[in-house]
Copies of this chain bind each other. A is one copy, B any other.
Amino acid sequence: MRAVIERHLTKLRARDFVSPDHENAIRESIRDYRDIPADRTVIRANVRLDHCTLLVDGVLCRYKDVRSGERQITELHLPGDFVDLHSFTLKRLDQPVMSLTPCRVASIPHDKLRLLTERHPHLARLYWFATNLDAAIHREWEVSLGRRTARAKLSALFCELLMRLQVVGLADESGYDLPLTQADLGDCTGLTAVHVNRTLKELRGDQLITFQNNRVTIHDLAGLRRAGEFDATYLYLERQHC
């Protein structure tokens, strides 16, 4: 049962030193594993929260609906991510979280997190780091949303997901599984599903990537990076932070 948060620990270890003592403290605080079907609201916005939710498996997103009926996804969460670590200090979420695929999640009460971070300032900084990394990803999305063409937006997104999935061992050179619809990709990039479709066709035609059967197959990573103006420094993949 404990093994299921391995991806989370892998992600932490990739960032900085985590002692066995820390790891045990984390393992013992995580509880309440549960499964969630696709397309469910997992956390509502503006409701007071007393625990944080860890994504064990599946894909979740933060999003906001706008009046016109469209949706903007503001971040995708992958296995090993805390989806609402910011609720520890914010106490509620400004945007809801929903499942895009069937998911498995676990939780950690804010009280435990408080103890954990007061006893281990190093862990406090490590989790603080994690929320700051979230913000860095938001910033990069702002750049995509504001100033990139449809082609570059999608290319950049596929590059980001590749790097993030590699950290937790869910991607290799050839590509990765991504059980999203083209409409979901449109909600991430501010495009319509129709235009995503046309752009994917173009990327396929240019031998960069194929997105089919819930899988991203990368044919030319260098070309994809170029198309998306992708520079991974915003993902802070180097070690030694806090």
The verdict on A145 contacting B190 (CB below 8 Å), with A90-B129, A90-B136, A241-B91 known, is yes
Enumerate chain B residues within 8 angstroms of A147, measured Cβ to Cβ: 66, 68, 70-72, 190
Within 8 A of B (CB), among A152-195: 189-190
Q: What chain B residues lie within 8 Å of A233 (beta carbons)? A: 45-46, 94
Interface-facing stretch out of A23-31, A120-128, A198-206, A212-220: A120-128
Q: A197 within 8 Å of B by Cβ?
A: no
* Closest partner residue, chain B, to A121 (CB atom): B118
CA distance A229 to B72 in the complex (A): 14
- Binding site of A, secondary structure by majority: helix, strand, loop or mixed? helix
Residue of B nearest to A138 (CB): B138
Q: Does A51 contact B (CB under 8 A)?
A: no
- How big is chain A's contact interface, by range? 35 or more
Asked whether A89 lies within 8 Å of B132 as measured between CB atoms, the reply is yes
**Taking the complex as formed, is A64 at the interface, i.e. its CB lies under 8 A from any CB of chain B?**
yes
Interface residues of A in 50-105 (CB under 8 A from B): 62, 64, 66-68, 70-72, 74-75, 86, 88-91, 94-95
CB distance from A123 to the nearest CB of B (A): 11
Inter-chain contact B143/A142, CB cutoff 8 Å:
no
Contacts of A142 in B (CB 8 A): 72, 74, 138, 141-142, 145
Q: Is the CB of A66 within 8 A of B129?
A: no
Query: For residue A118, which residue of chain B has the nearest CB?
Result: B121
In the bound complex, do residue A139 and residue B138 qualify as a contact, i.e. CB atoms below 8 Å apart? yes
